[in-house]
Amino acid sequence: MQEIRFDDITGLEAAVSEEFGAFGPEKTVTQEMIDRFAELTGDHQWIHVDVERAKKESPFGGPIAHGFFTLALVPALRPGRTFAVTGYASAVNYGSDGFRFLAPVPSGSAVQARSRLAAVSAKPKGTLVTTETAVHVVGNETPSLLYKGLTLYRPPKG
């Protein structure tokens, strides 16, 4: 894996790509996980937590994961990367340039993610990196989630 220093803007810009990297490991989304997320967030919409009703009435044939639960899984999915950012003191979640829920994640399905470096810019407090991540139900070409995350890599003090 190629290592690129957080403050090597030219090196990071060279890693920007339209192509996504390899998929990371698979993770199965269980009904128990969906129910626990509902408890944590207070989002008990039947399409997520009422298995019998979802089997009868849902256009998806059963319960599906919350979109925000799918988003919350991104760090656990550890999308494959072809490079590693090095030399920074801290990496801070700076927000998002957007996300879209494009396909459902049915309860019991396995998901995996892949990512690409979308943009890089120097900022007064460090280097801002935009990574686009696609989360797919294993075997589905259409991603369930497209997420553009922003990370600020901050320099060591001194």
Range list of β-strands (E), the chain: 2-5, 27-28, 83-86, 90-101, 110-123, 126-137, 145-154
What pairs with residue 40 in β-bridges? none
**Buried residues in 109-147 as b, exposed as e (16+ CB within 10 A):** bebbbbbbbbebeeeeebbbbbbbbbbbbeeeeebbbeb
Per-residue pLDDT at 2: 85
Q: Tell me the average pLDDT across 35-57.
A: 98
105-144 pLDDT tens trace: 999 999 999 999 999 999 999 999 999 999 999 999 999 9
**pLDDT surpassing 90 at residue 72:** yes
What 3-state class would DSSP assign to 148? strand
How far apart are alpha carbons 62 and 52 in whole angstroms?
Answer: 8
1.10.3720.10, 3.30.70.1140, 3.10.129.10, 3.40.50.720: CATH of 2-154: 3.10.129.10
- Mean pLDDT score across all residues of the chain: 95
83-98 pLDDT tens trace: 899 999 999 999 999 9
Per-residue pLDDT at 78: 81
Q: Tell me the average pLDDT across 5-24.
A: 95
**Residue 81's pLDDT band (cuts 50, 70, 90):** confident
Per-residue pLDDT at 88: 97
DSSP β-ladder status, 90-101 and 83-86: unpaired
Count of CB atoms situated within 10 Å of the CB of 85: 22
Q: φ and ψ at 121, to 5 degrees?
A: -150, 140
Task: Pick 82 or 126 by higher pLDDT.
Answer: 126
Instruction: Indicate the domain borders of the chain.
Output: 2-154
Give the pTM.
Answer: 0.93
Let me know: does 128 contact 93? Beta carbons within 8 Å.
no
**pLDDT surpassing 80 at residue 16:** yes
**pLDDT surpassing 90 at residue 1:** no
